[in-house]
Structure 1
């Protein structure tokens, strides 16, 4: 019988790869049961096998706060250089979920904040002792969830819990195929909302509204999580280069807590935060006001890429965007992101406000005196003008963007976009001269817009403009999330897993149609 090492190196790697693909890619922790055999025994065969399997075993780790005390022991000094992605899933305690609840008890809020604070503090204490020498840097992902957040009678379809094993598979393989059959993260709540329709069940209209109010606030949080008043300062951490929160998490985290985490990450270069916006408009407005400090005035100087995404659903947020608009957030982000290389802000500010100094009313001389975005390579923004404005408004926005682009000498790609259940618009400019317009209601751009972008190419010494106009089929659009599929900067706007779930493989289904109709009803109610 041939010896293993007598086989060609390619065959050896194929065999070890097969073993790796049929076992758990991460070591078992106290927080998760073993669904597949562990790789650990294979790593004990010899040094070659040890090196091969440990490089896979410790590439990605998923932990809860219960695993933090043993983290440094499990991930020794040599193994730390292998770790590329650490996902902390903070398990919050249970709490009462009465359908009659109109607010959360202060002691419950304090208890949730205390667990959150302690978990972050404990992890930072561990990571602060890790030496970044020889470490390429790792992604720190944060998730927070209480079993009580999710409606109890839908626990069998809890997308937050389902995501754990699906995401581990993604981290190991890079594939999102496993998400195609599960739908978007909030679809169980769309299905649940249908049961609250008039004529469904025995509840009165007032009882239905109250029950749904309590349900959505449990899911999104009655109050954004914050650090407790007695929280100690977080120690500096040098091994984290990317901070990530995906829209798989529904609970809000207040910007002050995010700021304390981010300012202690000495080497962070990439901040990517996806969030479901608050259930109540006044809470959302408060979040956006405080975000001016976290992602503007106090943004760490090491950051090169910032991506913020604010998601909504007509069944979870009963307010319209203008009720939570904080114009000063757009101004702050414009002023304090001059040194970034990549910037993506979706559904939290309007591109019109971000580009305000470049609006047609301002003179060329005033624009010339504005500072440049010397390093900016990629910019993606959303605007309600695409959904509600006239063709003239769209033209003015795109001309303002062209004036701004002349202040971006390193620009590689700029995208402005938005959509709803009836409209979709995507404008794209590339430094190679490609200018693309895709829309459902405006077939092509006028000559004024084209001339404005031709001036960008001349100013930035780039190739001449080549226009491309491609319509978007209205039947392909059920919500703003579907528009993401048309973006060249899709992975900058949303994490690949988030984009896969938000876009969905199927163009239409009954749940998407129901959400679309609910949004129409909400619009008619506010008019």
Structure 2
């Protein structure tokens, strides 16, 4: 593998032969701009690459040519890393050998792989032994990575830092009931820049998604009525632990180092296994002390009492045992409201938190789903805390299960309080729930009016986006309202299935007042009907509206958005899928090469590498001969 080869050739002193010294002198005679073009030419096959399973071209061997090549190609190679439990120790060695490589890392995916399981265990929740084993794997991975990243020094490695994507899964999660291709190691779409890969997301999902009629059958058996298969996939929330003197696990790990290198944190919904909210809070408070943005996606719990545990922090009732959390004082304060929100670092400027229903094909429909109606997010305590957090953020997407009107009212009340610091909020996207097709228009219009009053208390506001859908087989409805203040000009857009604006006579004057306060300019406004039909809205389960949101990247991770848009059509024919999949515009790819340290120790083909180097040497010598004699 490249890192070992690179270190051997660059760390050890070498005696250059006269011929190699002449070649080096010839290379240095080239203008800097030309040398840069040559290096880009050598690396060009790796930008805008095509994926081919796990196989992808490797830039690492070119770093062994000379020191200048080393810096260039290490910058490309270390830019994106994928780390598995087996590769963390090797990663630490590579970084400690030359810690300047920390400055090259921009995106790092810690892909924690838990223990495997067999049938019939796939139909039942994890037992205590498995929980302890998985907690140990999770803790070891986290501590190893933090121990390496804490070596980062801004003055030496640059102040940009990295974005950390954190996922936890078992290799067995996709080997039993579930065949979700986005959870597998060979899934090529990890970041927005990967949407330009060819073949695209459409073809990959079509080729790797199981036929819907066999999705609910495993080894001839139908889904367990108790949904044990999903409980196994969802897993028991993972906790940071440390071993006691007798080998027992003890909660509340207190030796977490501060790692200011992590500037962004992404936890995607497609990886269902959760981190215990108390352990996640510890990471945010003690390690991710310089975090600037946080995209937190999760799937709602199957059982209401488990969702209650996440929301507020209570005792967990398991199907087999009554289990208390390890520390009672921690148990009563381990919820999202009381623990996670207060632990968000003061440096945080962007926060997105979304919760999703369990996809219908993953659960036994006779047993229901712990959906939004069972969430306690509408409680006044959460509303006040979310409103208070929003005052120090610049961008916010609050939980969709929260009462939008009550949240807006909480912001207004905070703005009227003399003790409140002036809000820094610039961009906010808020989803509202609509109760019926007959009343949805008036409900949405009332929220738009309340939003105008809220905007008056947000002096730095740039974009306010409010949206909602109501799904009905015969009469669905959807609305988007957007206010935008840019270049001292204010504009407003209303989108629905009609070309008229509800409550127009009241909405325009109120938002004109907002425009006057923000930019001292008049307000331009427009009503634009959706191009989709109500039938499209219902069939897509509301997801066809996502692409019309201006702040969609704040509401969804770009990869998650496309998966959500595609998910309702997993039950459709290939012809129906092709009409809806991947309708977003692919982004222009950058250097999309990802160095995976999971398979470390696999050497590149020396013959191919030698052939590439000889070809390049021939081209360089020809150029030197032509221009320099």
Is TM (by shorter chain) over 0.5? yes
Which secondary structure state, in structure 2, belongs to the residue aligned with residue 210 of structure 1? coil
- Name the CA distance, whole Å, in 2 between partners of 1:16 and 1:443: 56
Residue 90 of structure 1 deviates from its aligned partner by: 0.3
Q: Counterpart in 2 of 1:29?
A: none
1:386 and 1:425 in contact (8 A); partners too: no
Work out which of the residue numbers 270, 280, 285 in structure 1 matches 2:308: 285
2:434 and 2:469 in contact (8 A); partners too: no
TM superposition score normalised by structure 1:
0.82
Q: Counterpart in 1 of 2:323?
A: none
Residue 154 of structure 1 deviates from its aligned partner by: 5.2
Q: Alpha carbons of 1:23 and 1:445: their partners in 2 closer, same or farther (altered >3 Å)?
A: closer
Residue 296 of structure 1 deviates from its aligned partner by: 2.3
Alpha-carbon deviations, 1:414-436, whole Å to 9, x = none? 11123354332211110132111
Q: Counterpart in 1 of 2:392?
A: 339
- Name the CA distance, whole Å, in 1 between partners of 2:48 and 2:411: 56
Work out which of the residue numbers 292, 296, 299 in structure 2 matches 1:269: 292
Work out which of the residue numbers 133, 137, 146 in structure 2 matches 1:124: 146
Which secondary structure state, in structure 1, belongs to the residue aligned with residue 508 of structure 2? helix
- Name the CA distance, whole Å, in 2 between partners of 1:117 and 1:104: 18
Residue 450 of structure 1 deviates from its aligned partner by: 2.0
Alpha-carbon deviations, 1:204-229, whole Å to 9, x = none? xxx74526x022212222x2222233
- Structure 2 counterparts to residues 417-456 of structure 1, below 5 A: 417-419=467-469, 421=471, 422-431=476-485, 432-440=489-497, 443-446=500-503, 447-456=505-514
Q: Counterpart in 1 of 2:432?
A: 383
- Name the CA distance, whole Å, in 2 between partners of 1:35 and 1:302: 39
Which secondary structure state, in structure 2, belongs to the residue aligned with residue 252 of structure 1? coil
2:490 and 2:519 in contact (8 A); partners too: no
1:61 and 1:87 in contact (8 A); partners too: yes
- Name the CA distance, whole Å, in 2 between partners of 1:83 and 1:23: 20
Q: Alpha carbons of 1:491 and 1:202: their partners in 2 closer, same or farther (altered >3 Å)?
A: closer
Residue 66 of structure 1 deviates from its aligned partner by: 1.5
- Structure 2 counterparts to residues 468-507 of structure 1, below 5 A: 468-472=526-530, 473=532, 474-477=534-537, 478-504=540-566
Greater Cα shift, 91-100 or 73-82: 91-100
Residue 399 of structure 1 deviates from its aligned partner by: 1.3
Output the aligned Cα RMSD: 3.7
Q: Counterpart in 2 of 1:210?
A: 225
Residue 48 of structure 1 deviates from its aligned partner by: 3.1
1:148 and 1:218 in contact (8 A); partners too: no
Q: Counterpart in 2 of 1:147?
A: 171
Q: Alpha carbons of 1:381 and 1:81: their partners in 2 closer, same or farther (altered >3 Å)?
A: same
- Name the CA distance, whole Å, in 2 between partners of 1:484 and 1:23: 28
- Name the CA distance, whole Å, in 1 between partners of 2:188 and 2:49: 13
Work out which of the residue numbers 41, 55, 59 in structure 2 matches 1:35: 55
Q: Say if 2:189 is the partner of 1:166.
A: yes
Which secondary structure state, in structure 1, belongs to the residue aligned with residue 354 of structure 2? strand
Q: Counterpart in 2 of 1:48?
A: 68
Q: Counterpart in 2 of 1:138?
A: 162
Q: Alpha carbons of 1:256 and 1:366: their partners in 2 closer, same or farther (altered >3 Å)?
A: closer
Work out which of the residue numbers 5, 9, 17 in structure 1 matches 2:43: 17
Q: Counterpart in 2 of 1:307?
A: 352
Residue 97 of structure 1 deviates from its aligned partner by: 4.7
The structure with the larger Rg is 2
TM superposition score normalised by structure 2:
0.69
Alignment length (residue pairs): 491
Work out which of the residue numbers 92, 106, 110 in structure 2 matches 1:84: 106
Q: Counterpart in 2 of 1:461?
A: 519
2:195 and 2:201 in contact (8 A); partners too: no
- Name the CA distance, whole Å, in 1 between partners of 2:165 and 2:499: 40
Which secondary structure state, in structure 2, belongs to the residue aligned with residue 347 of structure 1? coil
Work out which of the residue numbers 270, 291, 302 in structure 2 matches 1:248: 270
2:278 and 2:340 in contact (8 A); partners too: no
1:344 and 1:492 in contact (8 A); partners too: yes
Q: Alpha carbons of 1:45 and 1:13: their partners in 2 closer, same or farther (altered >3 Å)?
A: closer
Alpha-carbon deviations, 1:401-422, whole Å to 9, x = none? 1111111111110111233543
Q: Alpha carbons of 1:104 and 1:273: their partners in 2 closer, same or farther (altered >3 Å)?
A: same
Q: Counterpart in 1 of 2:613?
A: none
Greater Cα shift, 330-339 or 502-511: 502-511
Q: Say if 2:376 is the partner of 1:322.
A: no
Q: Alpha carbons of 1:108 and 1:368: their partners in 2 closer, same or farther (altered >3 Å)?
A: closer
1:476 and 1:508 in contact (8 A); partners too: no
Q: Counterpart in 2 of 1:518?
A: none
1:125 and 1:235 in contact (8 A); partners too: yes
Alpha-carbon deviations, 1:173-204, whole Å to 9, x = none? 865963232349997596555669xxxx986x
Q: Counterpart in 2 of 1:517?
A: none
Q: Counterpart in 2 of 1:351?
A: 404
1:250 and 1:276 in contact (8 A); partners too: yes
Which secondary structure state, in structure 2, belongs to the residue aligned with residue 18 of structure 1? helix
Residue 117 of structure 1 deviates from its aligned partner by: 1.7
Q: Alpha carbons of 1:191 and 1:251: their partners in 2 closer, same or farther (altered >3 Å)?
A: farther
Alpha-carbon deviations, 1:216-261, whole Å to 9, x = none? 212222x222223343431111211111112231112222111111
Residue 15 of structure 1 deviates from its aligned partner by: 1.9
Q: Say if 2:281 is the partner of 1:259.
A: yes
1:184 and 1:504 in contact (8 A); partners too: no
Unaligned 5+ runs, structure 2: 1-22, 242-249, 313-334, 578-629
- Name the CA distance, whole Å, in 1 between partners of 2:510 and 2:298: 35
